[in-house]
Amino acid sequence: MRRILFGVAVLAVTIVAGAPIEPLLLERMSTTSKNEYLPVVIALREQFNGEEIIRTIKVKDERWRVTVSGLKELAARTQQGLLQELTRLEREGKARNITPLWIVNAVYCELVSEAILKVAERADVWFVQWD
């Protein structure tokens, strides 16, 4: 009965809030225990747009340097709030193995289902997928 209620709650959050949780992850969440950690990748809404760099910088080494610098700057600027929330969830025992990924502006971590739902509600989160 508890799993059915959880499944209904997950579905309701997905429909009402447009929670960006991958369907496979939602399915997995409905079959796990309350305290089981699931490996996820949380992609942030703001992503790097390299089109301008490709159009304007013709020297490959310079293009590479500007791209890597831009990716790292974007991640540092946009991941801060999410990382703070994940660190708080980690202190509560709901998150672990938090790893920022600057190359795709995402964060890998392991979360319990309750934390996945909470993170998916954030305006800066594009989607959450099972890793």
pLDDT tens, position by position, 48-91: 998 989 999 999 999 999 999 999 999 999 999 999 999 999 99
Strands (E), 3-91: 38-44
Nearest to 124 by CA among 69, 84, 94: 84
Higher pLDDT, 12 or 107: 107
Residues 6 or more apart whose CB falls under 8 angstroms from that of 8 comprise none
Rounded Cα–Cα distance for residues 72 and 65 (Å): 11
Rounded Cα–Cα distance for residues 18 and 105 (Å): 21
Which helix (H) or strand (E) covers residue 17, if one does? Answer: helix 2-17
